[in-house]
Structure 1
Amino acid sequence: MEIDAFLLSRIQFAFTVSFHIIFPAFTIGLSAYIATLLGLWLKTGNPKFHLLARFWTKIFAVSFAMGVVSGIVLSYQFGTNWSRFSVAVGNVVGPLIGYEVLTAFFLEASFLGVMLFGWKRVPPWLHFLSAVIVAGGTALSGFWILSANSWMQYPAGHEIRDGIAYPVDWLQVIFNPTFPLRFAHMMTAAYLTTAFVVLATGARHLLAGHRTESAKTMVRMAILMIALTAPLQALIGDFHGKQTAIYQPAKLAAIEAHWDSSRPGALVLFAWPDEKAELNRFEVSIPGVASLLTHGSMDALFKGLKDFPPEDRPPVLIPFFAFRAMVGIGVLMILFGWAGAWLWKRGTVFEARSWLLIAKHSWPAGFLAILSGWFVTEVGRQPWLATGLLRSKDAVSPVTAAEVAISLALFVFVYCVVFAAGIVLINRLVEKGPDEISPEEPPEQPSQRPLKAAQAPAAAIFGDGRPGDDKIQPAS
């Protein structure tokens, strides 16, 4: 394999975007969690929700900052390493990225200060509203980024003049056929990722034997989120796979390592794809299941990679193994979430030390699943940057391999230093946990009006059914 500017540019972008995506995904889910906590505090007056909201807001601030820093680098790479990409499809992709800045980023920036520093400076309802707006802004940011990326996967609503794409229907551009399910899949992944981080944090403090009230609340809320959204994510993924068979059949053939078209198509559980020989070695498969899952029929034709010209085929190894990693993690998430819900129902979840020990170390699960999914999405789209319009090798800038190698080395060094420091800081915040309630300084209350028990539904939702456990303390 020749090490040229094109390959190094791809490695550089893959490296930086892999670092970047984990932080926006985490902040999307975490901002929604913080807004939920503030809403429960406003509704019930229970100080534990207020303390947890303050605790997670500190972690959100660090994650948000690292996401912004790493995202800016990606924008510059479009000009430095992929300038021809901007020339060919910038008329479509550029405005979508601009809309993300003008709507989502400005919205987040406007209310982020209130969310971070408004604890005793603004009324509680305004603080809650700012958290909701920040959460909406992070979701809106994901909306525009996924719209742009989905258009690159399956361009629509444009016309080509002199090799340059021009938008003709912005609704078709924004809501291109692959966008709705990809957006739902990514948002659900973000919420699941955050749920596992919250679960791991709560389990960590439970096993340490301190801050049990806050830890129990985190574990309960995380179990509820995982038990509901993990199966939903599997359902969305199934629909997304069926859609991929329609709009990106070459990608699906690579994901399943199907070389020859077959009726029906076998589901390959494991194999070692040999791209040179165009066959699978050590294959373990189930006949007919691939056609059933993707087309709803055991008699459906499943297209193989040989149906496409060699120059139009995506690489096979990375999508094949990354997809199985993503699905495997997803199955484990479902089983683990349901196991936690069963233990919660029995009232033994906080005494299940083995389950808590696994939960403590489960925090990377969502991040690994997201990275695996993005490897499937981006590598599976190759050799195209914009499918059918622009090949990756035609978009690279006229730069030398040495120039890209130097910048890549600098990126690796700076990212390892900066992000290692950020992760260490987040770990210290997690280790410290929520602030304890000081007897001399009662926690801030959302109002001076006492709340009745009927106004505190969180007691029923987040209690574990034991008499006297986790009673809602109304504001006084």
Structure 2
Amino acid sequence: MEDLLAARLQMAVSLGFHIIFACIGMAMPFFMAYSGYRYLRTGQPLYRDLTKAWSVGVAIFFAVGAVSGTALSFELGLLWPEFMEHAGPIFGMPFSWEGTAFFLEAIALGLFLYGWDRLPPWIHWGSGVAVGLSGVASGIFVVAANGWMNAPTGFDWVDGQAYNIDPVAAMFNDAWFTQSLHMTLAAFAATGFAVAGLHALLLLRQPHNLFHRTALRIALTVGAVAALLQPLSGDLSAKDVAQRQPAKLAAMEALYQTSQPADLLIGGLPDDESRSVAYAIHLPGMLSFLAHGDFEAEVLGLDAFPRDEWPPVLITHIAFQVMVGCGTVMALVGVLFMFLQWRRSPWLQQRWFLWLLVAVGPLGFVAVEAGWTVTEVGRQPWIIYGIMRTADAVSPMPGLVLPFLLFTGIYLLLTFVLVWLMVRQIRTLPEHYPSARLTDLPPNNSAS
């Protein structure tokens, strides 16, 4: 395996693993804070137990995420020294702010976990809100740094060196807002549907369990709203990419020839040799509209760029289709959920709907992984778009396949530990939280 491929695969594994924790760290604390708010307002022990149970899950994911995030910070310098030498002084600010947000999140989480019955109730609740706000801020700062790689600004590049560096302009680059908005909504949608799917699975085993019913309602409401808002942020992102990275858009849509108007493709398998896409469904003029707001607008194809500047079309296109497909399914399920709520349908008693939630549960994180694949692979061959190629930034140290295999093994071990801890936590819910044994059946039917 070539060192460049090994380095890229190591970053792919590391980011693919860590991004799950980033999403959960952004969204899950707000579920915890909402149930805590309901407890303070109603005094119902059910909400207290739910808050405590969710806080343990937040702590587990936070701890494992801290390990994976630390590894990533070292990998940037070890695998891409040329990149960090030039980019570090420019986009170091969002990373420093991310570190600050991380420490605030850790402090707030500690106060929340150990502050039960020790802190005044509303101050204790506020520390839980601070966990969520710090998590969202942390995610936005990291995405801002990634946005700079897609839209480099805040410096003058002369003879391979950066001059007149403006870290603030670099952090608030042209891509930071659309990427941050899209990522934040994706985090809430993915986490909401995943948590809802988990509690739906537990409800299939205990159909009248109030603990899981309450948890499912909270998580699915958040996930559905985020999934329905996501297409709006996707439209903003598409128009932004069309302006800044037209080659990436062309790869996303496998548009080999500049077209006016341009069709939107659903599905299909691109072939670079023949410059065609097999088995695709064509929607006339829709790509022109999505990219430029005009059904007759011209959209640049890959033929407008040198062949050595094409992103890997097959991977980018399929990842984009997977992301859109998963997001569409989640949005449709969100519409169905809201319709059933509006009709006051007993949807929590419908096994088909619970099975649907179980099936859809993982799709949010599949979409997140696919979306980051589009972002990173679609930027190739550049590590800093239009400035520095990825091949020029990789470490000259030979044998990079060895750390790739080592880190992959570490992440597999962390995955095993995480799954074991979460399964253990779920199995002991009735033991530690009395409300997890409650049902909505009348007392005379409780035996059934």
TM interval, shorter chain, is over 0.9
Q: 2:237 aligns with which of 229, 236, 240?
A: 240
Structure 1 residues 283 and 195 mapped into 2: Cα distance closer, same or farther (>3 Å)? closer
Instruction: State whether structure 2 residue 413 is matched by structure 1 residue 417.
Output: yes
Residues in 2 aligned to 1:174 and 1:413: alpha-carbon distance in whole angstroms: 34
Counterpart CA distance in 2 for 1:125 and 1:27 is 22
AA aligned to 2:405 is A
- The 1:90–1:114 alpha-carbon spacing in structure 2 relative to 1, beyond 3 Å, is same
Matched residue, 2:175: 178
Counterparts of 1:84 and 1:107, CA distance in 2: 31
Determine if contact 1:268/1:284 at 8 Å carries over to the other structure: yes
Indicate the RMSD between aligned Cα atoms, in angstroms.
Answer: 2.0
Is 1:372 equivalent to 2:370 in the alignment? yes
The equivalent residue for 2:445 is none
CA–CA separation in structure 2 for the residues paired with 1:52 and 1:399: 50
1:234-254 Cα distance to aligned partner (Å, 9 max, x none)? 111011111111111110000
Matching residue's letter, 1:233: Q
TM norm structure 1 = 0.87
**Contact map agreement 1:199 1:359 (CA 8 A) in 2:** yes
1:22 paired residue among 17, 20, 23: 20
Distance 1:436 1:424, change over 3 A: closer
Q: Does 1:271 align with 2:268?
A: yes
- Find the aligned partners of 2:145 and 2:277 in 1 and give their Cα distance: 34
Displacement after TM superposition at 1:73 (Å): 1.0
| Structure 2 residue matching 1:285: 3-state secondary structure | strand
CA distance in 1, matches of 2:422, 2:370: 23
Equivalent AA in structure 2 for residue 367 of structure 1: F
> TM-score normalized by structure 2?
0.93
Q: What letter is aligned with 1:42?
A: L
Q: Is the 8 A contact 1:97 1:145 kept in 2?
A: yes
Match of 1:300 in 2: 297
Alignment correspondent of 1:154: 151
- Secondary structure in 1 matching 2:386: coil
Give yes or no for contact 1:226–1:334 (8 Å, CA) kept in 2. Answer: no
Q: Is the 8 A contact 2:17 2:68 kept in 1?
A: yes
AA partner of residue 370 (structure 1): V
**Could you tell me which of 113, 121, 126 is aligned with 1:124?**
121
Matched, 1:79 2:77: yes
The CA deviation at 1:347 is 2.9
Change (3 A) 1:190 1:438: closer
Matched, 1:334 2:296: no
After superposing the two structures, state which structure 1 stretch, 269-278 or 135-144, moved more. Answer: 269-278
Match of 1:381 in 2: 379
**Bigger mean CA offset, 156-165 vs 16-25:** 156-165
Query: Match for residue 111 of structure 1?
Result: 108
Q: Answer yes or no: is the 8 Å Cα contact 2:192–2:224 preserved in 1.
A: no
1:206 maps to 203
**CA distance in structure 1 between the partners assigned to 2:441 and 2:166 by the alignment:** 57
CA distance in 2, matches of 1:427, 1:167: 53
Of residues 22, 45, 48 in structure 1, which corresponds to 2:46? 48
- C-alpha separation between the residues in 2 aligned to 1:177 and 1:119? 43
Find the partner of 2:59 among 56, 61, 65: 61
Unaligned runs of 5+ in 1: 440-467, 471-476
Within 5 Å, which residues of 2 pair with 1:252-331? 252-331=249-328
Flag the 1:149–1:437 CA change in 2: closer, same or farther, 3 A: closer
Whether 1:430 aligns to 2:399 is: no
Q: How far 1:34 moved relative to its partner?
A: 1.0
Contact 2:381 2:389 in 1 (8 A): yes
Distance 1:302 1:437 in 2: 57
Deviates more, 1:340-349 or 1:49-58: 340-349
What residue identity is the alignment partner of 2:195? V
User: In the alignment, is the contact (CA less than 8 A) between 1:256 and 1:320 conserved in 2?
Assistant: yes
* SS across alignment from 2:347: coil
* Cα distance, 1:166 vs structure 2: 4.4
Amino acid of the structure 1 residue aligned with 2:426: V
- The structure in which a higher percent of residues are helix is 2
Runs of 5+ consecutive residues of structure 2 not aligned to the other structure: 443-448
Query: Aligned partners of 2:2, 2:152: CA distance in 1, in Å?
Result: 28
Give the match for residue 404 of structure 2: 408
| Contact 1:52/1:214, CA 8 A, preserved across alignment | yes
Q: Is the 8 A contact 1:92 1:167 kept in 2?
A: no
Alignment partner of 1:145 is 2:142: yes
**Segments of 4+ moved more than 6 angstroms:** none
- Among 25, 34, 37, the residue aligned to 1:36: 34
Aligned twin of 1:169:
166
Amino acid in structure 1 at the alignment position of 2:213: K
- Identity over aligned residues, as a percent? 36
Please state how far the C-alpha of 1:408 moved relative to its aligned partner. Answer: 1.4
Q: Among 192, 196, 201, which residue is 1:195 paired with? A: 192
Q: Is the 8 A contact 2:256 2:302 kept in 1?
A: yes
Look up the equivalent residue of 1:334 and give its one-letter code.
A
Shift of 1:97: 1.1
Match of 1:89 in 2: 87
| 1:306-361 per-position Cα deviation (integer Å, ceiling 9, x unaligned) | 10111221110111011111111111101112222223333311221111122134
